[in-house]
A and B are shown apart, each in its own frame.
Chain A
Amino acid sequence: MNLSGSAGQDALYQQAIDTYGSAIERLARAYEAAADKRDDLLQEIHLALWRSFQVFEDRCSLRTWIYRVAHNAAISYVVRQSRVNSAGFASLAELETAFEPGQYEQQVERRLVLERLFKLIHRLKPLDRQIMLLYLEDMDATTIGEITGLSPGYVRTQIYRIKAILKNRFHGSGGHHG
């Protein structure tokens, strides 16, 4: 494998990490709960990202490219780990009906909110998980559609479901966190 990248490739990679490094870390956490394995996944994503800039030709925005590569590397990881649909994974549609309003405490610590978010995310199927993550990263339906290849209409429906699920799970906790 040739690892003597061009200056442009290195610069793009550096720019990607400077701008989206945190989002990539969050993504790795969302795809792998075990800390020791997560480092491996993170390194795989970094390697895939760096390699991908060999063929990046402004076909899409840098952001779209980075998220595609990172998510596809993570999806590949999930499939390799034989976790396509092993027992636990559910679709957004299934989760929508799984939680009753008022089931959760009104006041939760920030950490607990995150824990719940991770529990929720780790249960999702890859594509739904991706929509959820991109939504949490503050992206709109069009951008999510561009990254995932899903129609914006479908993405909007899923976002509506995500909102409903999050509202059920975190209702009342929002205003108490600084």
Chain B
Amino acid sequence: MAAEGIMAELEMDEVRSIWTSQPTAPRAMSQQEMLDKANKLKFAGRSKLALFSALGILLVVFGVNDHDIRFAFGKFIVACLLVAGWETAYGFKNELDILSLGLNAGTSSSLAFYRSELLRRRSFFESHQRTLAPALFLVLGSLRFVALSLRSGAFINLTPLGVFLAGWLAFTVLRKRRELPAIENEILALNLIERR
């Protein structure tokens, strides 16, 4: 039994030795590299903000002139872009501030940190406002276009609105159904682990 135990231990040691002897080339990042990385992260955030601001201005411009059906359609398209952009840039990834990560990552155990990340993500999926607000925004953004289309009898104009709204709702609901149970299960598993 002792010999078998030693053999098993040797094998474990061998696997660990293979693991730890992987070729690596560790190197500290220079101040400049840190700055570049931080700026890159900041730039990504600022680019999104700039894009959203530009779209916001465009929305106002189209909104002011939306008695013309072309502008009303433009307003609807911009509203779609804003909703899709919001979902892609913030909703889908639900990014946290990576730059402040280091300040709390050391003081939390991995268990606590992981739980907080899961809870943050769960609250994102559970929030009705997050689901309804973009839908409401989209409806409001398309009201004038719908009204003008109905008035002129161009019912075909409602197709893009219907397609986008249905697509967006399907995307949101499917994503929630796919991700929320996995997150819930993971939180339950953490609860069980903590009780042990």
* Interface residues, chain A, with chain B CB atoms under 8 Å away: 1, 3, 5, 13-14, 17-18, 21-26, 29, 43-44, 46-52, 54-56, 59, 65, 68-69, 71-73, 75-76, 79-80, 82, 84-86, 91, 110, 113-114, 117, 125-127, 130, 135-138, 147-151, 153-154, 157, 163, 166-167, 170-171, 173-175, 177
Q: State the CA gap A137–B22 with chains docked (Å).
A: 12
We find that the number of chain B residues with CB closer than 8 angstroms to chain A is 58
Main secondary structure of the interface of A (DSSP, over half): helix
Report the number of A-B residue pairs with Cβ-Cβ less than 8 Å. 200
A46-B34, A148-B110, A154-B196 given; A51·B14 CB < 8 A: no
Shortest Cβ distance from residue A167 to the other chain B in the assembled complex, whole angstroms: 6
Q: State the CA gap A157–B109 with chains docked (Å).
A: 19
Main secondary structure of the interface of B (DSSP, over half): helix
B105-144 interface bits toward A, Cβ cutoff 8 Å, 1 = contact, 0 = none: 1111111111001100100000000000000000000000
Docked-complex contact A52 and B103, CB < 8 angstroms: yes
A22-B26, A54-B103 given; A147·B110 CB < 8 A: yes
Chain B, Cβ-Cβ closest to A67: B110
Question: Of A26, A47, A148, which one neighbours B34 at CB under 8 angstroms?
Answer: A47
Docked-complex contact B14 and A48, CB < 8 angstroms: no
CB pairs A–B below 8 angstroms (8 shown): A25-B24, A47-B98, A48-B101, A49-B102, A52-B105, A68-B110, A75-B110, A148-B111
A44-B98, A65-B106 given; A126·B114 CB < 8 A: yes
Q: Tell me which residues from 22 to 64 in chain B have a Cβ below 8 Å from any Cβ of chain A.
A: 22, 24-29, 31, 33-35, 37-38, 42
Question: Of B15, B20, B25, B186, which one neighbours A125 at CB under 8 angstroms?
Answer: B186
Docked-complex contact A52 and B102, CB < 8 angstroms: yes
Docked-complex contact A177 and B14, CB < 8 angstroms: yes
Docked-complex contact B101 and A80, CB < 8 angstroms: no
Docked-complex contact A149 and B111, CB < 8 angstroms: yes
Interfacial chain A residues near B193, Cβ < 8 Å: 127, 150, 154
